[in-house]
Structure 1
Amino acid sequence: MSRQPTKIVSSEHLVSETSAELSEFEYGLIMASNAFNRWMVRCMAAAGGKDMTPVEVSLLHHVSHRDRKKKLADICFVLNIEDTHVATYALKKLVARGYVKSEKTGKEVFFSATATGRELCARYRDVRERCLIAALKESGLVNEQIGAAAQLMRNASGLYDTAARAAASL
């Protein structure tokens, strides 16, 4: 008699008979999200950016991306941040620390990384190479697996966004 493998979930009361795998995936997302947030904060601290939140770290990296000025709405759209107040507050903190500058053009405010912010991102990259990339090489995971997981997570993000819109209309 073949025995079904045990599903590893965080909330057995949510497990669906239709897709127990979704509950497993959600538990993995919770664990990965918390681990990634902890990693970003500790990596940034090691790079010299003390007491930054995961949102601040994400925003600094995105504002530094391609060295282009970005509007708040575009930043929130790309990072899938629904509450613009959270992003606005974090950006104000980054401006106060000298990592980001804001510039008003007409009615729009644009954000960009300062030289100090770009230097901090470069140090973050160095720590990332020494700690995370080194661990990746030792883990047995290959880049193709990482790429497939990234695609799965982007697809799941769309699924959850669609479901969130449906739930908001109930």
Structure 2
Amino acid sequence: MTSKARAGSTKTDKVATKAAQAESPKPRKQIEKSDGEKLSEMELSLTVLWNSVRRWLGQRSNANAVNGLSDLDVFLLHLLVYRNKPLRGIDLAFALSIDDLHLVSYALKKLAKLGMISSGRVGKEVFYEATAKGRENYDEFISDRERYLEPAMGFLQKSDIDIEALNLALRTLSGIYEQAARAAASARGI
């Protein structure tokens, strides 16, 4: 190739490179989000997470021998097994941050009717605890969780996300939202 041909080729290459650069999208500057936008994204993520957890509990429950347990039923049963001691309905409602005690009472009656929990009186108070059938359901849940959910969570360990720190952050957020709810209710005179 002659030196003129090489020079022309280089010039053509430069023109082609400039044309390609002009056509390719330029990286946009990252627009800084406001605190409100960041908070909205977090709330959306938490809502999607909550609905996904409820779907997991519902699908897992429907595939089980004891069909038709709601997510609240499952949470209450698991809390009784996990705490491994008799608890009052109000204790369970408090632990799950549920204001409507009648929802908890209804779920506890349903679980008792299914033989998953038993109740006993101590004075005027009614205490609930998981039965062998309830513990068996919980053990099956743990087995399903180990099979379907935990392998998918492997990315957390690979990305150095500390589950305990995440749990602490979520509990802290719960407290912040509880306090904000009380402040808003107080401001409205409720």
Normalization by structure 1: what TM-score? 0.86
1:4-23 equivalences under 5 Å are 4=31, 17-23=34-40
Cα distance in structure 2, aligned partners of 1:3 and 1:144: 24
Cα distance in structure 1, aligned partners of 2:146 and 2:35: 41
Post-superposition shift, 1:80? 1.0
1:39-118 equivalences under 5 Å are 39-118=56-135
Partner of 1:121: 138
Residue 170 (structure 2) aligned to one of 143, 149, 153: 153
Local SS of the residue matching 1:76: helix
State how many pairs are aligned. Answer: 158
Normalization by structure 2: what TM-score? 0.77
Cα distance in structure 2, aligned partners of 1:49 and 1:128: 17
In the alignment, is residue 3 of structure 1 matched against residue 20 of structure 2? no
Cα distance in structure 2, aligned partners of 1:130 and 1:75: 28
Q: Which runs of 5+ in 1 are unaligned?
A: 8-16
> Partner amino acid for 1:4?
I
Which shifted more, 26-35 or 48-57? Answer: 48-57
In the alignment, is residue 26 of structure 1 matched against residue 43 of structure 2? yes
CA contact (8 A) 1:43 1:128 kept: no
Cα distance in structure 1, aligned partners of 2:163 and 2:84: 26
CA contact (8 A) 1:46 1:127 kept: no
Q: CA RMSD in A?
A: 1.7
> Partner amino acid for 1:150?
N
Post-superposition shift, 1:43? 2.1
Runs of 4+ that moved beyond 3 A: none
Cα distance in structure 2, aligned partners of 1:43 and 1:150: 23
Local SS of the residue matching 2:68: coil
Residue 133 (structure 1) aligned to one of 138, 150, 154: 150
> Partner amino acid for 2:45?
G
Identity value in percent = 37
Cα distance in structure 2, aligned partners of 1:74 and 1:66: 11
Greater RCO between the two (CA within 8 Å, min separation 6)?
1
Q: Find the structure with the greater CA-based Rg.
A: 2
